[in-house]
Amino acid sequence: MTRALLTGDHHVHSTFSDDAVSTLAENLDAAVAAGLATVRFVDHVRQSTPWVPDYLAAVRALQVPDGLTVLTGVEAKILDASGTLDIPELPTGIDRILIADHQFPGVDGPLSPSTVRERIEAGWATDDVLDQLVSALIESMRRHPGNQLAHCFSILPKIGLSEDDLGVERVSAWAQAAAATDTMVEVNEKWGCPGIPLLDALHRTGTEIVASTDSHIASDVGRYSCVSEMLDTWGTL
């Protein structure tokens, strides 16, 4: 099962994102060259993003070869502790929203990692920080069911914490919420997360796990190193 995950790449950015350099067509060619069976094209959106219909039209115009399934997505950050997403009204045709922890979901809006570190140093209890983060993730899944978590918990090292700090109860609640809301969870090449204990929790709840490179250039599409090693280790445990 773990090796089969590597035949898909569920998080591939194109020039519709302002930090990527490859076109949809270049990413398609790269997916074919990598021997993928499934690729999900994904680009960053905000509430003000106007181009999603153009993006969908461009995906539909691609000449997709037999044997490759092309899926679509948009990536939106969690804005606050209630699970609000930074996302425009979406037209029909987007397969999944990728829910991303680009910043920390504060009570009144997103907080930068440096701000969170400063507040922790000033006395914000680690347990309260983690409770707020996990609660926001769960609320975002409940408000937007049937979608996908992108590089989940990549925010932790940025704020000086790690997945080991989460504890069994928070991980269990998170995994159960993913299963209950039909939320896919990607294991992400770029950020190396979530790790094996979290994958175990997801597997126990029956949550669908997919692999992603989070590529921003075509040469990275479907090319796994960190994820491959992690899945190999997971498969031997």
Ordered DSSP codes for 117-129: HHHHHTT--HHHH
Tell whether the torsion through CA atoms of 142, 144, 150 and 155 is positive or negative.
negative
Task: Give residue-wise pLDDT tens across range 41-79.
Answer: 999 999 999 999 999 999 999 999 999 999 999 999 999
pLDDT tens-place string over residues 78-100 = 999 999 999 999 999 999 999 99
Interior CA angle at 12 toward 11 and 16, to 5°? 120
- The pTM of the full predicted model, rounded to 2 decimals, is 0.96
CB 9 within 8 A of CB 38: yes
- Residue in the structure block whose two tokens are 């000086």: 160
pLDDT in tens, 25-46: 999 999 999 999 999 999 999 9
Domain residues for 94?
A: 3-236
CATH code of the domain covering residue 84: 3.20.20.140
Per the CB < 8 A criterion, the answer to whether 78 and 101 are in contact is yes
Q: How far from the centroid of its chain's Cα atoms is residue 167's Cα?
A: 21
Q: What is the pLDDT of residues 6-28, one digit of tens each?
A: 999 999 999 999 999 999 999 99
**What burial class does residue 3 get, using C-beta atoms within 10 Å of its C-beta: 0-12 exposed, 13-18 middle, 19+ buried?**
exposed
The total number of structural domains that make up the chain: 1
